Every structure is written in structure tokens, then in C-alpha cells.
Amino acid sequence: MLYTVCETPVFTQKALEIWTNQEKEEFIGWIAGKPYSGEVIPNSGGLRKVRWHASGRGKRGGARVIYYNLLEAGEIVLLMVYTKNKFDDLPKEFYKKLKEAVDA
């Protein structure tokens, strides 16, 4: 089953800084069919993080995507994308704010 993938404005903006349009569409096509990929972020209310390659960086040095599954509604919400060279990991408070935004 393929789910509808929704992007937050922050995700869209950051994705343009990291990926080509083709790379972004490739990721969206992939995640639409694999909503349980990546790992659940502890104490985040169900947010998930998955690694994905970025231009010239490969998967390990590439992008991290934070997303949330609303599978009962048939949706996956892409919240944030960043590169490892910007952040190794995001602060726990940031995950809390992302989850609050999803719940709003």
C-alpha cells in the first residue's frame, strides 16, 4: 500500500537546500511504500528518523528525515530534513515541538 506523503513548509525549504528535486521525489516515492522504515525516536510520541543519501554524501553522511505516520488517515508527514554535518542529532526539546505541531 502506498500512503499520501505530506510535507511541512520547513521540510520543503530544507529539502531544497539538501536534495535535487529528483532526489526528493525518489525519497518520497520510497517512504510512501515503507512507512515503518527508520527508527522510532525515544520519548518523541512516535516520531521516526530515517537516513537517506544526499548529493555526493552517501547514506551515512547524508540526510536525516524526521517524519510521523498518520497511517489511519493514510498519510505520512515529513517534518524535518537535515544533514549530519549540520546536526549529529537534534535536541530532545525540538522533537517535542515537532510532535506538538503534528498534534495541533
6: β partners:
77
Q: Are 48 and 66 in contact (CB under 8 A)?
A: yes
Comparison of pLDDT for 80 and 93, the residue scoring more? 80
pLDDT digit string, tens, across residues 1-26? 789 999 999 999 999 999 999 999 99
The pTM assigned to this predicted structure is 0.84
Nearest to 51 by CA among 97, 101, 41: 41
Element (H, E) at 99: helix 92-103
**What value does the mean pLDDT take over residues 31-58?**
87
Element (H, E) at 62: strand 58-70
Q: Which domains does the chain have, with CATH numbers?
A: 4-103 (3.30.2310.20)
Confidence of residue 43 (pLDDT cuts 50, 70, 90): confident
